[in-house]
Chains A and B, each alone.
Chain A
Amino acid sequence: MTDFTMTTDADGVAVITWDVPNKSMNVLSLEGLAHLSDLIDQAHADEAVKGIVITSGKDTFAGGMDLNVIAKMKESAGDDPAKGLFEGTMQMHAILRKIELAGMDPKTQKGGKPTAAALPGTALGIGLELPLSTHRIFAADNPKAKIGLPEILVGIFPGAGGTTRLSRKLGAMAASPLLLEGKLNDPKKAKAAGVIDEVVPAEDLLAAAKAWVLDAKDADLVKPWDQKGFKIPGGTPYHPAGFMTYVGASAMVNGKTQGVYPAAKAMLSAVYEGAMVPFDTALKIEARWFTNVLMNPSSGAMIRSLFINKEALEKGANRPKVEDQKVKKLGVIGAGMMGAGITLVSAQAGMEVVLIDATQEAADRGKAYTEKYMDTGIAKRKATPEKKEQVLSLITATTDYAALSGCDLIIEAVFEDPTVKADVTAKVEAAVGEDCIFASNTSTLPISMLAKASTRPEQFIGIHFFSPVEKMMLVEIIKGKATGERAVAKALDYVRQIRKTPIVVNDARFFYANRCIIPYINEGIRMVAEGVEPALIENAAKLVGMPLGPLQLVDETSIDLGVKIAKATKAAMGDAYPDGAVDEVLFWMADEGRLGRKSAAGFYAYDEKGKRQGLWDGLAAKYPVADEQPDLHTVQHRLLFAQVLEAVRALEEGVLEDIREGDVGAILGWGFAPWSGGPFSWLDIIGTPYAAEVCDQLTEAYGDRFACPALLREMADKGQEFYNRFAAEQAA
């Protein structure tokens, strides 16, 4: 079976059908592309063929290039990868250009064979770049279909001519949301935006495309950019109108990406440089920049973490081999913010949910959260009143533990107090069946300790959500000492039902995510105490791709929570506690009543409406800004190493069992520099020997918290990469 098949009908239309075996959606492989090229050649050469229609054998057209292929392109490109990548890209251009030029006489532009694309549904990435090279794009009137070029979201850009074709078709300004933001449209909107040509009823799709092909005139086959006197809509870069577009676009892209995402710059450069030269030269320019992006380790790391590994984890890469554990009836104990959020996402996923709190009023308030959420969705036309009723009907808010009968999973999200949690555990276990799995949403208490309150510790597990539950995509699953395989499978199957991404870690203080975030925040606060300009701390973090500076982050998570965690950690660690300098600032802020956003006062000042203004100027009075300021790199290294060394220690200690989880969890959990692919990918990018060297420098300058972990030291000495060493182990 091949990815493409071709049949020619009596009218002389060759229909090329894309239908990749054993895949729910078509993705393009290099073999598939070569085969497509052969079929085009055949059709062009066959006198019986009057024209070509390219369509799909599935209800969608294509999901794009096979990301596994892109991720490995560089390593499989030979000894001179840049040359291999460039030449490979140019070959792809040649194939699509062959379709576009239709075999016509280059001088008279006559005698070509028309090609139309017929898209039954979603067409993404190369799945749209291929149609863009045809002469007419038909799409079935399928409102669920998504059409667009989302490459930028994985750290690359449309490199099969999509950038050049779309920017010439629409002009740089109109193309920019599609290219720079990866905006997807349904067929009707895609037509309105000028991306596709026709939207027809699904049943007429193929007939309409065939009819067009048979009717097409020579002039219909000549693309605007192949016509004499073609002018790009909106003007070229040095046209007065184009000038402002390009000046503005560079500034916006630069500001938005903070200089850490190379793909947007490369794409914009390809559009700019391409706009001033003929089309084929523009394709060559696009190929050079595309090669440049693929050569940048960031693109491969992003694809690996954000797509390939994220998907693998969602599909249960680390799931124990036990039977299906899909949740039918969920019990949520505690109707506070977390419990209410868990209830919402679970009911949305179609689960029956029993939401319990101490008072009926509190339980009702928790359920009302879902109601309000659905109302907002209706107002934004993202939900319907029927959907709202259906979701609400799944939720029972009560004080009665007996309602938990029949639940197969319980998640408690009550106050972070071992006694309270033990009491809940006992009450729940009295009410549920023997098979029921019990999960705690604790963020600070050890699971193994909480499990002591359970009569079935092998069925006791941690399912740690991030706040707000409905927005945060990561769920941390924590195995206690006694946690059994079925509990892990249950938690994973549940997370899959609510369509979030799980990582599975072992029980240790702060698990994985918080363990890494806390040192990041602390390092920022520590610098305040040292007299580092607070703006430099915050900007340095953003300039290395962190979504929030450490001071803004602690304002968001609240300073009293920081104080609580610090006190508990100090109590647990005793003399070894390393963060006294941090606490001095933190405790002082708390004493001043500056608890962060919730008190409209923290490291930042807030207006009456609670909107964040600038950094609080009172900070400088207490911690004067030093005359000597560290350079940007030093600040960035401190902030990043504070996080990644903790990730390495978590791996070393066995808290993390899989670096893929460490990387995916870091990006989804706390937004760790997504361009890097995560902490382990970042260490691979900078190289373990260099990382160890920086550790030594930071240790000498700032203290033992930067001491190089033994694992990293060993890897540095051997010149190893995390993804070589640990990926190999996983494969074995």
Chain B
Amino acid sequence: MTEAYIYDAIRTPRGKGRKDGSLHEVTSVRLSANVLNALKSRNGLDGHAVEDVIWGNVTQVGEQGGCLARTAVLASDLDQSIPGLAINRFCASGMEAVNIAANQIKGGAGMAYIAGGVEMMGRVAMGSDGAAIAVDPSIAMDTYFVPQGISADIIATEYGFSREDADALAVESQRRAKAAWDDNRFAKSVVPVIDQNGLTILDHDEYMRPGTTTEMLGGLKASFKDMGEVMPGFDKIALMKYPHLERINHIHHAGNSSGIVDGSAGVLIGNKEFGEKYGLKPRARIRATAKIGTDPTIMLTGPVPVTEKILADSGMSISDIDLFEVNEAFASVVLRFMQAFNVDPSVVNVNGGSIAMGHPLGATGAIIIGTLLDELERTGKGTGLATLCIASGMGAATIIERV
């Protein structure tokens, strides 16, 4: 079978997803084009170099609507013969773009793809594209819809994680992210965002709060307690689905949940011939991909079953994996993953994660694949697994293997 290789993986720095964030002035299209241009120039791509640009993006309205992928190609230096495909699998959109591209290549549909994604959370508000699962009464009631924060708190309650456990994980994420930046570990993949004159707009992850301590986090108010216990009372819905629980333990807050940021990432994937044609050296092969649906109420447990599935599908076991990237959407998601597979925290999110650096929804899946690859190379390890929890109860995973 044809192999799909990663030739390059880059990302923008992540800007605070607010009006005063450094990337707030940049449009979603321009930020995407920044990434596409960097991939083109770094790898000497020319003409119809890739079959398609598959671009993940969650909130596809306004400037992020209208098939952003195609608009981004046209706004970039890529050839107009390259089309664009906008996809949405919520938080795993960037990963799904990579997985689709890899599987297209494995199936023989073209030599190469650019896959990645973008989310300008400060410009296009999360949820502004609507969602029948939350709004349509007959769907919301039948699926026992609760917002993600409540779901994360259900995980904590169901699997016994305390506020202290979650805060400790958050502090460690901040510590690791700072250490990684100090050690220049992202240098290979972070591409500064520049303006039309070549001036730098942002060259580092600005969301991080180095030096965060558990004492500092201890003072934060649980974010989802009121909507759970008072108005409109989502905890009751959670207990309808999980009736063996007496109450929901609300442990998540802004400090142990992922940050709202702007950012984009792209991965260049191709077969062997593609590398030969452009004189590029494959960095890793995409060994396996997987996605799965889970209970939509607890919603965010997907990394566990999707990891079981990807291991089973590829005939591997958890001990075959050297490094893990488990998206830090909420602390409990990562805690549950480590608990389920009994993996050592020292091999999970070793350079920090979305709690410290932020989670630009449509891009994160591609970001963590790049981060995983960088770290495998830096440490000389072989195999890594990246996985994300996904809204509405899904999970996605990718296994990469250095070559």
Is A553 interfacial (CB-CB < 8 Å)? Answer: no
Q: When the two chains form their complex, are residues B128 and A254 in contact, meaning their CB atoms are under 8 A apart?
A: no
Nearest residue, chain A, Cβ from B134: A247
Q: When the two chains form their complex, are residues A246 and B237 in contact, meaning their CB atoms are under 8 A apart?
A: no
Q: How far is the CA of A540 from the CA of B245 in the complex (A)?
A: 11
Provide 25 A-B residue pairs closer than 8 Å at the C-beta atoms, listed in order of the A residue. A243-B127, A243-B135, A246-B136, A246-B137, A247-B140, A248-B232, A250-B137, A250-B140, A251-B232, A251-B233, A252-B232, A254-B240, A255-B232, A255-B236, A256-B236, A265-B141, A266-B138, A268-B137, A269-B136, A269-B138, A535-B245, A536-B243, A539-B239, A539-B244, A543-B240
Q: When the two chains form their complex, are residues B233 and A252 in contact, meaning their CB atoms are under 8 A apart?
A: yes
Is B199 interfacial (CB-CB < 8 Å)? Answer: no
Is B7 interfacial (CB-CB < 8 Å)? Answer: no
Choice from B136, B145, B234, B239 contacting A272 with Cβ under 8 Å = B136
Is A240 interfacial (CB-CB < 8 Å)? Answer: yes
What sequence of 0s and 1s flags, for each residue 610-643 of chain A, a beta carbon within 8 Å of any chain B beta carbon? 0000110000000000000100100000000000
Is B1 interfacial (CB-CB < 8 Å)? Answer: no
In the complex, which residues of chain A have a beta carbon less than 8 angstroms from the beta carbon of B231?
Answer: 248
Max chain A CB contacts within 10 Å: which of B136, B141, B146, B236?
A: B141
Q: What's the count of A-B pairs with C-beta under 8 Å?
A: 94
Q: How far is the CA of A243 from the CA of B128 in the complex (A)?
A: 9
Q: Considering the complex of A and B, which 9 residue pairs feature the smallest CB-CB distances, nearest first?
A: A255-B236, A539-B243, A535-B246, A248-B232, A268-B137, A250-B140, A536-B244, A251-B232, A269-B138
Choice from B130, B144, B236, B244 contacting A535 with Cβ under 8 Å = B244
Q: When the two chains form their complex, are residues B137 and A543 in contact, meaning their CB atoms are under 8 A apart?
A: no
Q: How far is the CA of A259 from the CA of B137 in the complex (A)?
A: 12
Q: How far is the CA of A258 from the CA of B135 in the complex (A)?
A: 18
Q: When the two chains form their complex, are residues B138 and A251 in contact, meaning their CB atoms are under 8 A apart?
A: no
Given A238-B130, A240-B128, A247-B135; A533-B140 close (CB under 8 Å): no
Is A249 interfacial (CB-CB < 8 Å)? Answer: yes
What sequence of 0s and 1s flags, for each residue 239-265 of chain B, a beta carbon within 8 Å of any chain A beta carbon? 110011111000000000000000000
Query: Which residues, 200 to 250 on B, are CB-close (under 8 Å) to A?
Result: 231-234, 236-237, 239-240, 243-247
Nearest residue, chain A, Cβ from B245: A535
Q: When the two chains form their complex, are residues B240 and A255 in contact, meaning their CB atoms are under 8 A apart?
A: yes
Given A265-B141, A614-B247; A251-B237 close (CB under 8 Å): yes
Interface residues, chain B, CB within 8 Å of chain A? 127-128, 130, 134-138, 140-141, 144-146, 231-234, 236-237, 239-240, 243-247
Question: How many Å from the CB of A538 to the closest CB on chain B?
Answer: 8
Nearest residue, chain B, Cβ from A242: B135
In the complex, which residues of chain B have a beta carbon less than 8 angstroms from the beta carbon of A538?
Answer: 246
In the complex, which residues of chain B have a beta carbon less than 8 angstroms from the beta carbon of A629?
Answer: 244
Max chain A CB contacts within 10 Å: which of B128, B134, B140, B144?
A: B140
Nearest residue, chain B, Cβ from A238: B130
Is A237 interfacial (CB-CB < 8 Å)? Answer: yes
Q: When the two chains form their complex, are residues B135 and A246 in contact, meaning their CB atoms are under 8 A apart?
A: yes
Is A253 interfacial (CB-CB < 8 Å)? Answer: yes
Max chain B CB contacts within 10 Å: which of A238, A255, A271?
A: A255
In the complex, which residues of chain B have a beta carbon less than 8 angstroms from the beta carbon of A269?
Answer: 136-138
Q: How far is the CA of A303 from the CA of B246 in the complex (A)?
A: 33
In the complex, which residues of chain A have a beta carbon less than 8 angstroms from the beta carbon of B145?
Answer: 247, 250-251
Q: How far is the CA of A256 from the CA of B236 in the complex (A)?
A: 8
Q: How far is the CA of A420 from the CA of B145 in the complex (A)?
A: 58
In the complex, which residues of chain A have a beta carbon less than 8 angstroms from the beta carbon of B240?
Answer: 254-255, 258-259, 539, 543
Q: When the two chains form their complex, are residues B244 and A265 in contact, meaning their CB atoms are under 8 A apart?
A: no
Q: How far is the CA of A614 from the CA of B157 in the complex (A)?
A: 15
Q: When the two chains form their complex, are residues B135 and A272 in contact, meaning their CB atoms are under 8 A apart?
A: yes
Choice from A240, A272, A536, A539 contacting B137 with Cβ under 8 Å = A272
Given A248-B232, A540-B243, A632-B243; A253-B137 close (CB under 8 Å): yes
Given contacts A250-B145, A533-B244, 7 further A-B contacts (CB under 8 A): A237-B130, A249-B232, A251-B234, A254-B236, A258-B240, A535-B243, A536-B243
Q: How far is the CA of A483 from the CA of B182 in the complex (A)?
A: 93
Question: How many Å from the CB of B320 to the closest CB on chain A?
Answer: 31
In the complex, which residues of chain B have a beta carbon less than 8 angstroms from the beta carbon of A253?
Answer: 137, 141
In the complex, which residues of chain A have a beta carbon less than 8 angstroms from the beta carbon of B140?
Answer: 247, 250-251, 254
Q: When the two chains form their complex, are residues B233 and A255 in contact, meaning their CB atoms are under 8 A apart?
A: yes
Q: When the two chains form their complex, are residues A247 and B130 in contact, meaning their CB atoms are under 8 A apart?
A: no
Q: How far is the CA of A535 from the CA of B244 in the complex (A)?
A: 5
In the complex, which residues of chain A have a beta carbon less than 8 angstroms from the beta carbon of B232?
Answer: 247-249, 251-252, 255
In the complex, which residues of chain A have a beta carbon less than 8 angstroms from the beta carbon of B233?
Answer: 251-252, 255
In the complex, which residues of chain A have a beta carbon less than 8 angstroms from the beta carbon of B138?
Answer: 265-266, 268-269
Nearest residue, chain B, Cβ from A636: B243
Question: How many Å from the CB of B303 to the closest CB on chain A?
Answer: 25
Question: How many Å from the CB of A298 to the closest CB on chain B?
Answer: 15
Question: How many Å from the CB of A135 to the closest CB on chain B?
Answer: 31
In the complex, which residues of chain B have a beta carbon less than 8 angstroms from the beta carbon of A614?
Answer: 246-247
Q: When the two chains form their complex, are residues A255 and B237 in contact, meaning their CB atoms are under 8 A apart?
A: yes
Choice from B135, B141, B239 contacting A237 with Cβ under 8 Å = B135
Max chain B CB contacts within 10 Å: which of A254, A536, A538, A632?
A: A254
Q: How far is the CA of A272 from the CA of B141 in the complex (A)?
A: 13
Q: How far is the CA of A473 from the CA of B60 in the complex (A)?
A: 55
Given A250-B141, A251-B234; A615-B246 close (CB under 8 Å): yes
Max chain A CB contacts within 10 Å: which of B127, B233, B239, B244?
A: B244
Q: How far is the CA of A255 from the CA of B231 in the complex (A)?
A: 11
What sequence of 0s and 1s flags, for each residue 514-555 of chain A, a beta carbon within 8 Å of any chain B beta carbon? 000000000000000000011110111001000000000000
Q: How far is the CA of A534 from the CA of B243 in the complex (A)?
A: 10
Question: How many Å from the CB of A237 to the closest CB on chain B?
Answer: 5
Q: When the two chains form their complex, are residues A254 and B237 in contact, meaning their CB atoms are under 8 A apart?
A: yes
Question: How many Å from the CB of B38 to the closest CB on chain A?
Answer: 35
In the complex, which residues of chain B have a beta carbon less than 8 angstroms from the beta carbon of A273?
Answer: 136
Q: How far is the CA of A655 from the CA of B246 in the complex (A)?
A: 38
Question: How many Å from the CB of B269 to the closest CB on chain A?
Answer: 36
Q: How far is the CA of A536 from the CA of B231 in the complex (A)?
A: 24
Question: How many Å from the CB of B397 to the closest CB on chain A?
Answer: 30
In the complex, which residues of chain A have a beta carbon less than 8 angstroms from the beta carbon of B234?
Answer: 251, 255
Q: How far is the CA of A259 from the CA of B144 in the complex (A)?
A: 10
In the complex, which residues of chain A have a beta carbon less than 8 angstroms from the beta carbon of B146?
Answer: 251
Q: How far is the CA of A271 from the CA of B145 in the complex (A)?
A: 19
In the complex, which residues of chain B have a beta carbon less than 8 angstroms from the beta carbon of A268?
Answer: 137-138
Question: How many Å from the CB of B80 to the closest CB on chain A?
Answer: 34
Question: How many Å from the CB of B155 to the closest CB on chain A?
Answer: 17
Q: How far is the CA of A539 from the CA of B141 in the complex (A)?
A: 17
Question: How many Å from the CB of B391 to the closest CB on chain A?
Answer: 14
Q: How far is the CA of A533 from the CA of B157 in the complex (A)?
A: 15
Question: How many Å from the CB of B245 to the closest CB on chain A?
Answer: 6
Question: How many Å from the CB of B229 to the closest CB on chain A?
Answer: 11
Q: How far is the CA of A268 from the CA of B244 in the complex (A)?
A: 28
Choice from B128, B137, B236, B247 contacting A249 with Cβ under 8 Å = B137
Query: Which residues, 260 to 297 on A, are CB-close (under 8 Å) to B?
Result: 265-266, 268-269, 271-273
What sequence of 0s and 1s flags, for each residue 157-190 of chain A, a beta carbon within 8 Å of any chain B beta carbon? 0000000000000000000000000000000000
Query: Which residues, 215 to 248 on A, are CB-close (under 8 Å) to B?
Result: 237-238, 240, 243, 246-248
Nearest residue, chain B, Cβ from A533: B244
Q: How far is the CA of A266 from the CA of B142 in the complex (A)?
A: 12
Question: How many Å from the CB of B244 to the closest CB on chain A?
Answer: 4
Q: How far is the CA of A543 from the CA of B247 in the complex (A)?
A: 15
Q: How far is the CA of A582 from the CA of B171 in the complex (A)?
A: 49
In the complex, which residues of chain A have a beta carbon less than 8 angstroms from the beta carbon of B144?
Answer: 254
In the complex, which residues of chain A have a beta carbon less than 8 angstroms from the beta carbon of B136?
Answer: 237, 246, 250, 269, 272-273
